[in-house]
Amino acid sequence: MTRPLGVILAGGQATRMGGGDKCLLPLGGRPILDRVITRLRPQVAGLALNANGDPQRFAGAGLPVVADSVEGFAGPLAGVLAGMDWAAEQGAEVIVTAAADTPFFPEDLVPCLQAAAEGQHPPLVLAATKREGEDTRSMSKRGHVRHPTFGLWPVALRDDLRAALADGVKKVVLWTDAHGGREALFPDEAAFFNVNTPDDLARAEAMLA
């Protein structure tokens, strides 16, 4: 299977971090975003950043910046749609997304997502772990916790997603379940640890050490 295009989702509001772009915060002397790019770039054929507002603040990343086409804060699905639209312009059929605030995600993210999608048309897969955690909002029927900002998405469904967003759908798993979305199970829950608060940033520094 050919390598897909990659889209890093950085469109969140970072309210628990006090606003701003948490992916630009330093982690081990490098911006979190830089660490995400380093992990994802070797796994994909090309890379873009989904973010809203002035794109110049991300100039140091050296990536094309694609903004949400949906007004207001519609959540990660709006970023997925922006990535799909960008990929369609490149003639790509599939994208893989990763969150900009998750610096330790698996270095085999893309091949594992692709393996889970084998035989599926169109391919639609979310990353998942076996954690029995407190947050059950993304829990699947199998008891796995899905990580909805990490997924394999078919560009062919972009108009369907656009319509769903126009109808007010914001929860990722509602849309993926409606289209027979699968799970790619990863063994390490900590790989999807994301930085939401100053305490999380301190924990990430400890994990890095």
Q: Tell me, which fold does domain 5-208 have in CATH?
A: Spore Coat Polysaccharide Biosynthesis Protein SpsA; Chain A (3.90.550)
Q: Taking 70 as the threshold, does the pLDDT of residue 157 lie above it?
A: yes
Q: What is the mean pLDDT of residues 37-57?
A: 97
Percent of the chain residues topping a pLDDT of 90: 84
Q: How far apart are CA 45 and CA 47, in angstroms?
A: 7
Q: Rounded mean pLDDT of the chain? A: 92
pLDDT in tens, 174-200: 999 999 999 999 999 899 999 999 999
On whether the CB atoms of residues 5 and 16 are closer than 8 A, the answer is no
Q: Taking 80 as the threshold, does the pLDDT of residue 19 lie above it?
A: no
Q: Can you give the pLDDT at residue 14?
A: 47
pLDDT in tens, 48-90: 999 999 999 999 999 999 999 998 778 999 999 999 999 999 9
Q: Can you give the pLDDT at residue 110?
A: 98
The domain locations on the chain are 5-208
Given the DSSP bridges, would you call strands 94-99 and 125-129 parallel, antiparallel or unpaired? Answer: unpaired
pTM, 2 dp? 0.92
Choose among 1, 3, 22: nearest CA to 11: 22
Choose among 85, 105, 79: nearest CA to 113: 105
Better pLDDT: 45 or 20 = 45
